[in-house]
Amino acid sequence: METTDLVSGVAVFEWLNLKMLLILLLGFLLVYYLIQARTPSQLPPGLSFWSQCGYFFTRDKNLLHFKMVVKTYGNICRVNMFWVKVIILSGFQTIQEALIQHSKEFAGRPNMRINDFLTKGQGIISAPYGKSWKQQRRFTVTIFRNFGLGKIAFEVKIQEEARYLTETLKSKFEGQLVDPKPLITAAVSNVICSIVLGQRFHHDDKTFTRLIKLFDEALQLSSGFWIKACVVLPAIYYLPGPHQRIFENRAAIEAILQDFIRQHRETRNGENIRDFIDAYLLEMEKKQEADSFMLDGNLLCNIYDLFLAGTETTTTTLRWGLLYMMAYPDIQERCQKEIDEVIGRSRAPCLEDRARMPFVNAVIHEIQRCGNVLPLSVVHTTTQDTRFMGYTIKKDTLVLLNLWSVLTEERQWKHPHQFNPENFLNDSGEFFKPDAFIPFSMGPRACLGEKLAKMELFLFFTSLLQQLEFGWPDKTSPPNLEGMYQIVWAPHPYKVEVKCREH
């Protein structure tokens, strides 16, 4: 009886503690709101305090929240995640001015505890603007160029994966329904693996499939509730709970990548550079000076960043491509007609064909525009106090680049709100690219893999349509072209009906 009373007393005490904590939190938020309301600000206009709290607790998959904010407050506005201020920049001219005229001021990355826990400020994607980031980016660009980016060496790797993907669909899934995501992911990932790790993997390889699964999970965790909670309340990192899966996932990926690095150290052969890891290890030996950032931690984070960025964006764009081809079979047929006329069926597509295929090129760009896989880009921050468009933005303020607004801006496009390749064709039917086509962003933080992504999209897309037809299996309803937001803007899961093209 006494034990039961003791347990009940503890439960009541814990409940009272929780209640008191909630009261204190609400009190703090109210005081913060009153202080903010009374404090003169040179920040852009934005949502009310309570609307901002509501945003924190929702996963807005359709970007309606940001569309509403931009429509209400204009091309430079503000939202808050509680006490974390976020500036949203929209429209081509606004974003261009920020990233080109004020490139250094807007080139930062969030200085948050969550980044310290995950990356320790290393790598390329999340690294702060500074000497380390500049050295990593410059080295990576140089190595990619030395390995033949944009030339035959890279082209052959992509052609090999495109051929394997096409043959797999033909031999195993012809006449069937198939979810194309796993196959496309494996094919695109193998391109990065051959460059970074020096090998390609069979699609059923256990290490390879586990790595892909972990990266897919990392993407979902990066857009979930708990990552926001870690941003707002860094102290919860030290507490048990569902948010620990974020750090467990990162550790599992890094353990696999560390094993590849160890294997490279054991099998290196002098100046024989097999891949990115070999090149980096050699550079580490050469650069022994104290101010060099060619370090083990940067190598690990660089591999992580290259694998994630090099796989997910291209895979998602190709998934959008197949979905749009099923939604617009007339466009699919016209692409195949141009492929037959320029390439035929007997040889693989090559990059030299692109210049003679304006319609296919326009369709690929239109898929990127409408698919828009990074609608808010990667989060930027200001590197110093910045005077921009009449407002004062403090150092380390988070900045979201609303690329969606640029890619659908009515002044920039013939058909801004519909899928239409005419957006990239002039009156003579020739391909042209408007200045507002910036899915890879611009400025010093623009995607360094842009050239590789363009090669992959053309070769994979043309190879698939050259040999196969893709049909929507449900004849009673059209494909769902509404996406879902998981850091990348991705189509909902779907299955496709695969048929070999008749000769």
Confidence band of 2 (pLDDT split at 50, 70, 90):
very low
Average pLDDT rounded to a whole number, residues 184-212: 95
Provide the residue range defining the domain that includes 86: 41-500
C-alpha–C-alpha distance, residues 177 and 72, integer Å: 44
Give domain status of residue 119, yes or no. yes
Give domain status of residue 303, yes or no. yes
Give domain status of residue 18, yes or no. no
Give domain status of residue 28, yes or no. no
| pLDDT of the residue at 178 | 95
Most confident listed range (77-91, 167-181, 266-280, 411-425): 411-425
* pLDDT, tens only, 335-384: 999 999 999 999 999 999 999 999 999 999 999 999 999 999 999 999 99
Nearest one of 56, 132, 177, 88 to 406, comparing CA atoms: 88
Return all residues near 373 (Cβ < 8 A) that are at least 6 apart: 312, 313, 316, 317, 320, 439, 488, 489, 490
Give domain status of residue 14, yes or no. no
> Lowest-confidence range among 56-60, 224-228, 262-266?
56-60
Residues 111, 117, 123, 127: what is their CA dihedral angle, to the nearest 10 degrees?
A: 0
Give domain status of residue 129, yes or no. yes
Confirm if 298 and 281 have CB atoms less than 8 A apart. Answer: no
Confidence band of 64 (pLDDT split at 50, 70, 90):
low
Q: How many domains does the chain have?
A: 1
Give domain status of residue 73, yes or no. yes
| pLDDT of the residue at 24 | 56
C-alpha–C-alpha distance, residues 460 and 320, integer Å: 13
Give domain status of residue 1, yes or no. no
**Alpha helices of 77-179 — where are they, by DSSP H?**
92-96, 113-118, 131-146, 152-173
Confidence band of 11 (pLDDT split at 50, 70, 90):
very low
| pLDDT of the residue at 52 | 54
Confirm if 88 and 71 have CB atoms less than 8 A apart. Answer: no
> Lowest-confidence range among 52-61, 105-114, 214-223, 454-463?
52-61
- Asked if the model's pLDDT at residue 435 lies above 90, the reply is yes
- Asked if the model's pLDDT at residue 5 lies above 50, the reply is no
Q: In this structure, what CATH number is given to the domain that contains residue 420?
A: 1.10.630.10
